[in-house]
């Protein structure tokens, strides 16, 4: 298998995996809404509630936040300040990208080490309401760090071996108003 073909397979697998993660985010949000809304209705209408719903809603929110961060990292949709990098040439952008990827990889390794330690410490600690292991919360840091490391290491590989376009060398958008890059279509410019 050629390098270009294997890169295409990796990209396809990654895109499918992150589509699955988007579905997980939607499920977390749906469950949160149902739990919180159901608890509000029970409290106001029947003067009772489900104590488990508050705890599980917080857990789903934590999971949704970490998974959303992963999707944002994969799609490069994080906001950032790119004024300096945009004034650099291709070599300068590549150097800045490699340095920033190295720093992010280091941060993920620190997060992985700390999250793993907290997960192991809290394996036998039970949540007050549900009785579930608190490792489910701290384990999300492990999940995030491992997945982020994969994304960052693939980007580092692509940057080091020249497999990125010049536009991809800037990993952030300065505002949310910037449209995502779409393929150029000349059909609108034809005079008929």
Q: Is 163 among the domain residues?
A: yes
Q: Look up residue 6 and give its two tokens.
A: 């294997």
Domain contains 191: no
Is 57 in contact with 153 (CB distance < 8 Å)? no
The total domain count for the chain is: 1
Answer yes or no: is 97 within a domain: yes
- 136, 187 contact by CB (below 8 A): no
* Residues 50 and 130: beta-carbon distance below 8 Å: no
Instruction: State the residue range of the domain holding 55.
Output: 3-175
Report pLDDT for 63.
94
Residues in the chain: 192
The alpha-helical segments, DSSP class H, found in the chain are 3-46, 51-75, 83-86, 90-121, 135-160
Phi, psi of 81 (to 5 degrees): -110, 105
Residue 18 placed within a domain: yes
pLDDT of residue 4: 57
In a domain, 77, yes or no: yes
Q: What is the pLDDT along the chain (192 residues), one digit of tens a residue?
A: 555 556 678 888 988 999 999 999 999 999 999 999 998 898 888 888 788 888 899 999 999 999 999 999 888 887 766 667 667 777 887 888 889 899 999 999 999 999 999 999 999 999 888 888 999 999 999 999 999 999 999 989 888 887 766 666 666 655 555 555 533 334 444 443
Contacts of 69 (CB under 8 A, 6+ apart): 144, 148
CA 14 to chain centre: 12
Q: What is the pTM of this model?
A: 0.78
Could you tell me if 126 and 134 are in contact, meaning their C-beta atoms sit under 8 angstroms apart? Answer: yes
What CA–CA distance (Å, rounded) separates 72 from 63? 14
Please tell me the distance from the alpha carbon of residue 4 to that of residue 11, in angstroms, as a whole number: 10
Residue 187 lies inside a defined structural domain of this protein: no
Q: Angle of helix 3-46 relative to helix 51-75, nearest 10 degrees?
A: 150
Output the pLDDT for position 144. 96
Indicate whether 192 belongs to any domain: no
């Amino acid at each position: 298998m050629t390098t270009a073909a294997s890169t295409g397979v990796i990209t396809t697998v990654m895109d499918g995996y992150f589509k699955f993660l988007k579905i997980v985010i939607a499920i977390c949000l749906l469950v949160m809404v149902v739990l919180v809304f159901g608890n509000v209705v029970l409290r106001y209408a029947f003067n009772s509630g489900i104590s488990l719903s508050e705890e599980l809603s917080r857990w789903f929110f934590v999971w949704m936040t970490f998974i959303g961060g992963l999707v944002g990292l994969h799609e490069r949709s994080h906001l950032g300040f790119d004024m300096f990098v945009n004034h650099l040439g291709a070599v300068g952008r590549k150097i800045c990208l490699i340095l920033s990827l190295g720093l992010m990889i280091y941060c993920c390794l620190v997060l992985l080490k700390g999250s793993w330690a907290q997960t192991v410490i809290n394996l036998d600690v039970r949540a007050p309401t549900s009785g579930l292991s608190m490792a489910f919360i701290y384990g999300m840091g492990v999940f995030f760090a491992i997945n982020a490391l994969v994304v960052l290491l693939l980007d580092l590989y692509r940057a080091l071996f020249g497999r990125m376009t010049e536009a991809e060398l800037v990993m952030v958008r300065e505002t949310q108003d910037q449209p995502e890059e779409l393929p150029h279509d000349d059909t609108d410019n034809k005079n008929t």
